[in-house]
Amino acid sequence: MHTIAAWRRLLAEFTGAALLVTAVVGSGIMATTLSPDDVGLQLLQNSVATAFALGALILTFGPVSGAHFNPVVSAADWFLGRRTKSGLSGADLAGYVAAQTAGAIAGSVLANLMFDLAPVTFSGKDRTAGHLWLGEIVATAGLLLLIFALARSGRAALAPAAVGAYIGAAYWFTSSTSFANPAVTIGRAFTDTFAGIAPASVPGFVIAQLAGLLIGVGLLLALYPNIGQAADDIVVPTERLPS
């Protein structure tokens, strides 16, 4: 299906995920530096920077890899495309997940280094609670509904703005501040800063995100029975360029 070399697509996913986490972590560090006594303002600064960065990164890497940057998006693309033989293959999915996770970890390390911190400072921020897991389920399912609905309706070109806006908003309307991404969740464990999550809290978040994946896929199949036909356009259609 894809005419772009696999290594180029994996490099795009690695780099995009790395820069996304760099934006999340770096803006969190800057926010606590600039507004040390106002957590609400810190969250606003962090969410705005993340939303804009995500939109820009989708525009940058979308034509190469689709700009998933997220294992649940890639998994949904693989599953929903099976009947129509579209979307990611099993090998693609494994490569994307590995590249996204490695990139997310690298992004935390890069942000730490940019702000003169130790390369790896495991977070001590506990995020273990049922209401936070519920927030992750809602955030993840909603993200999948948005992305695949855009593709199914021929509006994938709106994904950079729409996905950035959704994540920026979900920082505020979910209890968990909308990680909605297993790779990003793992990456954020490697920084003991505003955006961090304690390693012990990671499994709960990832399980909740996987539950959101199942719910999101179920809703998509109910709402758009032929959703698999749009699998090649998730998140942004990749250009059919020579390898």
Residue 233 lies in a domain: no
Residue 110 lies in a domain: yes
Token digits of residue 10: 């994996």
Rounded to an integer, the average pLDDT of 58-67 is 97
Q: Would you state the pLDDT for residue 3?
A: 79
Residue 235 lies in a domain: no
How would residue 241 be classed by pLDDT, with cut points 50, 70 and 90?
Answer: very low
Please state the pTM of the whole predicted model: 0.95
Token digits of residue 91: 């090998």
The pLDDT tens digits for 135-179 are: 999 999 999 999 999 999 999 999 999 999 999 999 999 999 999
Residue 133 lies in a domain: yes
Range of the domain at 196: 6-227
CATH number at residue 55: 1.20.1080.10
Q: How many domains does the chain have?
A: 1
Residue 238 lies in a domain: no
Residue 87 lies in a domain: yes
Q: Would you state the pLDDT for residue 239?
A: 61
Q: Would you state the pLDDT for residue 238?
A: 79
Closest to 179 measured CA to CA, from 26, 47, 35: 47
Rounded Cα distance between 65 and 9, Å, is: 5
Q: What is the DSSP secondary-structure string of 34-65?
A: H-TT-HHHHHHHHHHHHHHHHHHHHHHHHHHH
Residue 82 lies in a domain: yes
The pLDDT tens digits for 75-127 are: 999 999 998 889 999 999 999 999 999 999 999 999 999 999 999 999 999 99
The pLDDT tens digits for 183-213 are: 999 999 999 999 999 999 999 999 999 999 9
Residues 21 and 103: beta-carbon distance below 8 Å: yes
Q: Would you state the pLDDT for residue 15?
A: 98
Residue 93 lies in a domain: yes
